[in-house]
Amino acid sequence: MKKPVRVGIVGAGFAASFHLRSYRQVKEIPVEIAAIAGRTKDRAAQLAGRYGIPKIYDDYRFLLDDPSIDVVDLCVPNALHLPLVLETVKAGKHVICEKPLTGYFGQGEPDKEVGAVSKRKMLDKVKADLAEVTRVMAEHPVKFCYAENWIYAPAVRKALEIIDRCVVTGAILEVRGEESHSGSHSEYSKSWRYAGGGALARLGAHPIGAGLFLKRFEGVKKTGLPILPVEVSADGVDLTKTPAFHAVKNSPLVTGWEDVETWAQVIVTFSDGTRGIFCGADNLLGGMESTMDIRLSNARLKLDICPVRICQFFAVDPAPVRDVYFNEKQETKAGLSFPSPDEEWTLGYPHEIQDFMEAIALDRAPLSGLELAKQVVEVVYAGYVSMEEGRKIILSPT
């Protein structure tokens, strides 16, 4: 029997829950969830009870001090990602980091003023942080696993297999991607201080990550070198602060956003002259939509990463199915809907955790790693500079 990979989870909210369910599905690699650390110990204890986790802490440092833990899985608000990545790596442990790797969360300003800081200043700070994480990773022989589930979503994996053949004679000319829903459940997401941005950082990070991954893949396949993002232009707004929204009543969209945008779009120019268009928005009713449209010179791929339509349901009165889970962020089950038989599988969460456990146990690189995580942050923050300055921003990679 191989030695198990021993995991410590930090955070006890939404992401921690779906990570824990995915660890249960890992095949061929023995895995033990050794401990969980939450800010609120009771919440961590609830998850520990449900998943049989033996140790519960109210401080993540206990995980770092535990020599039996191999990997620390960070399921915490965005502002904590970078500091905890650095501490985990310095403690000699592998790290799994939820998206985005980092952002600007303030440098001593009052919380309410963080979102108003010049985006150029934010980009400079973010780039310094990315240089720091690169330096620290180079000094420690541990894995950085970037938890971008879109890379692992079955639809994207199938697209990759197809693109692998198509780019022998063709090229990806344009990648469009969007993740939208009616607004985050998490209070942390409403302020720049904790989220490091709005819809672009929180939702747009998924299609940006997948788009950059596909163009990297195409470049490596053709020449051995990745095709990289070189230029970004963007637009963004909090649609719930527009005159149009102020004039409406009873919208089921999430409101109360403090200083972050709820709608954003970036156009990325790649080093081969092709384009990506990526959108993240909190203005969509009817459940989450995660889509990609990949236009090649010789083929086209349309991906519905979520939701799927393999099960149809219709009811005038949805009361009997009140307790049945259908889809993330679906506001009502009245009328026609499409309950997802296994949403987490469709979104790639089990495949992601499988890859990370294999990467650690078999000492190989994960499919989604540090370079991708850094590039997503660079594109997002160049996007914020573009929104503020109203022009294209040239990327200078860290």
Ligand X SMILES: NC(=O)c1ccc[n+]([C@@H]2O[C@H](COP(=O)([O-])OP(=O)(O)OC[C@H]3O[C@@H](n4cnc5c(N)ncnc54)[C@H](OP(=O)(O)O)[C@@H]3O)[C@@H](O)[C@H]2O)c1
Positions that interact with ligand X (CB under 6 A):
10-16, 37-40, 43, 60, 75-78, 80, 98-99, 147, 149, 186, 188
- 51 vs 188 by CB, closer to ligand X: 188
Q: CA quadruple 45, 49, 52, 54: dihedral positive or negative?
A: positive
CA distances to 178, 186, 314, 329 from 284, in Å: 11, 17, 21, 10
Query: What whole-number distance in Å separates Cα of residue 271 and Cα of residue 228?
Result: 5
- Map tokens 């296994």 to a residue: 342
- 149 vs 330 by CB, closer to ligand X: 149
Task: Write down the least CB distance from residue 151 to ligand X, Å.
Answer: 11
Task: Write down the least CB distance from residue 29 to ligand X, Å.
Answer: 21
Task: Write down the least CB distance from residue 236 to ligand X, Å.
Answer: 18
Angle at 121 between CA 116 and CA 124, to 5 degrees: 145
Query: What whole-number distance in Å separates Cα of residue 77 and Cα of residue 309?
Result: 32
Go through the chain and tell me how many residues it has.
398
Task: Write down the least CB distance from residue 73 to ligand X, Å.
Answer: 10
Residue 293, beta-bridge partner list = 176, 302
Task: Write down the least CB distance from residue 184 to ligand X, Å.
Answer: 7
b/e burial code for range 282-321 (CB count within 10 A of at least 16 → b): bbbeebbbbbbebbbeeeebebebbbbeeeeeeeeebeee
- 144 vs 270 by CB, closer to ligand X: 144
- 102 vs 274 by CB, closer to ligand X: 102
Q: Decide if 75 contacts 9 (C-beta within 8 A).
A: yes
Q: Which residue is nearest to ligand X (CB)?
A: 13
- 14 vs 314 by CB, closer to ligand X: 14
Q: Give the list of residues 6+ apart from residue 302 with CB closer than 8 angstroms, or none.
A: 291, 292, 293, 294
Task: Write down the least CB distance from residue 285 to ligand X, Å.
Answer: 19
- 25 vs 186 by CB, closer to ligand X: 186
Going through 20-155 in order, the beta strands assigned E by DSSP cover: 31-37, 55-57, 71-74, 94-98, 144-147
- 77 vs 198 by CB, closer to ligand X: 77
Task: Write down the least CB distance from residue 128 to ligand X, Å.
Answer: 21
